[in-house]
Structure 1
Amino acid sequence: MERLAFKMKLKTGAKEAYRQRHENIWPELKKLLSDAGISEYSIFFDAETDTLFAFQKVAAGNGSQDLAEHQIVQKWWQYMADIMEVNSDLSPKSVPLDEIFYMK
């Protein structure tokens, strides 16, 4: 298993909408992520900067970022685009983060 982390940006004032949408994550999206080898996925929010910090535990070489071509993922991006900073294809603008410390 590998651990991946990345950050994304919410639009100001969108925290509750983001939380609500994830509390009602589509079962087919959840299954797709699980089938792709993502066994853990957490997202944290920094209220000072509207930044989201995401963490995933994934099967080697996998991650949600690798599912960009899947129809369910593209539909989710479209659903989330009004509350996040996104790229021209509606994917969330995300920045991978390098792990510099891990304590077992």
Structure 2
Amino acid sequence: MTVRMAQLMHVYPDQYEEYERRHNNLFPEMRQALKEAGAHNYSIYLDKRTGNLFAYLEVDDVDKYNEISQTPACKKWWEYMEPLMDTNPDNSPVTIDLHEVFHLD
């Protein structure tokens, strides 16, 4: 069963281009970790007025996907992205999970 997930994050206004550049050059090991965690149809959108990011992805199993946070690839990616955005003490991005209220199939 596919689970749709959505989150809000925030990138600093002077880092929009760098944030996009880094995602366009995603580390191969991070890409592989996402695939192994069952992530697909992953998109991130930027509101240039506010710096707010909207992330949408689909996963096969939420618990399996959440294990990605323990992988060396993910920790490396978080450290790389930390200067560009709001982060937690472990360098993970500050995220707000969104609750789906409507879906048209």
Q: Which category describes the TM-score, using the shorter chain as reference length?
A: over 0.9
More helix by share: 2
Q: Determine the structure 2 residue equivalent to 1:50.
A: 51
Partner Cα separation in structure 1 for residue 11 and residue 84 of structure 2: 6
- 1:22 Cα shift? 0.5
* CA-to-aligned-CA distance 1:8-46 (integer Å, 9 cap, x gap): 000121110000000100111101101111121000001
When the two structures are superposed, what TM-score results if normalisation uses the length of structure 1? 0.93
Aligned to 1:80: 81
Percent identity between the aligned chains?
Answer: 34
Map of 2:101 onto structure 1:
100
- State the Cα deviation string for residues 40-79 of structure 1 (Å, max 9, x = none): 1000001121000000011032475442111110110010
Query: What amino acid is the match of 1:17?
Result: E
**Number of residue pairs the alignment of both structures matches:** 104
Alpha carbons of structure 1 residues 90 and 32: separation in structure 2 relative to 1, 3 Å: same
2:15 aligned residue: 14
CA RMSD in angstroms, aligned pairs only? 1.3
For structure 2, which runs of at least 5 residues remain unmatched after alignment?
Answer: none
Q: Unaligned stretches of 5+ in structure 1?
A: none
Aligned letter for 1:40?
Answer: N
**Runs of 4+ residues deviating >2 angstroms:** 60-66
TM-score normalised by L of structure 2: 0.93
